[in-house]
């Protein structure tokens, strides 16, 4: 498909998303995008001594459970392509109440992801399964942290649920203890 057709389809999809968002009533659950960067599709198989044995499907299931308890809906996605991640961030601008993002290797390399996140007017929480500060020096720097309301690192896949809980508070979702 030519790039121009792809651009037209992206614009039409964006318009449809905005129309759909405008047609929602106040009783709709806020949407949280949970975005995952490169190689997280291999979670449970790649370096389990660092990232654990849970799969990305396990993480998605736990995110959906946690979000449901908090009155949130989830868009859970993973990509190995920087441009796709950026497109999803742009899409979230018209639909989401917040983003939980594990940018993976893009954390340390992508000014483009930072720039896309900088356009968002809602809370962003950055998640890392491993403690990036106990790892190689190049992993200590995060471009994403400049725009994140918080960073959760080193809590394994439980960090996703913690991020969703925090995001629920930041956006004023219903409190499960009430």
Catalytic residues: 51, 128
Helix (H, G, I), strand (E, B) or coil at 31: strand
- Cα–Cα distance between 95 and 102 in angstroms, integer? 19
**Measured CA angle at 33 (ends 31, 38), to 5 deg:** 170
The values of phi and psi at residue 70, to 5°, are -100, 5
**Residue 13 near residue 139 (C-beta atoms within 8 A):** no
Q: Which residues of 88-127 are buried (b: 16+ CB within 10 A; e: fewer)?
A: bbebbbebbbbbbbbbbebbbebeebbebbeebebbbbbb
- Cα–Cα distance between 98 and 89 in angstroms, integer? 10
- Helix, strand and coil content of the chain, in percent to the nearest 5, comes to 50, 15, 35
């Amino acid at each position: 498909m030519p790039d121009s057709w792809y651009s037209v389809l992206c614009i039409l999809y964006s318009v449809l998303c905005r129309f759909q968002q405008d047609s929602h009533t106040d009783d709709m659950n806020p949407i949280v995008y949970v975005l995952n960067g490169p190689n997280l599709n291999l979670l449970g198989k790649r370096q389990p001594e660092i990232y654990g044995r849970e799969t990305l499907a396990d993480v998605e299931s736990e995110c959906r459970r946690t979000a449901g308890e908090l009155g949130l809906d989830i868009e859970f996605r993973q990509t190995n392509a920087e441009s796709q991640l950026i497109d999803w961030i742009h899409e979230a601008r018209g639909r989401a109440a917040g983003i939980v993002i594990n940018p993976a290797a893009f954390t340390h390399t992508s000014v483009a992801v930072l720039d896309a996140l900088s356009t968002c007017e809602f809370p962003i929480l950055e998640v890392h399964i491993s403690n990036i500060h106990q790892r190689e020096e190049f992993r200590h720097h995060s471009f994403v942290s400049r725009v994140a309301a918080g960073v959760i690192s080193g809590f394994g896949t439980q960090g996703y649920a913690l991020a969703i809980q925090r995001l629920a508070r930041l956006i004023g979702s219903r409190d499960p203890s009430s």
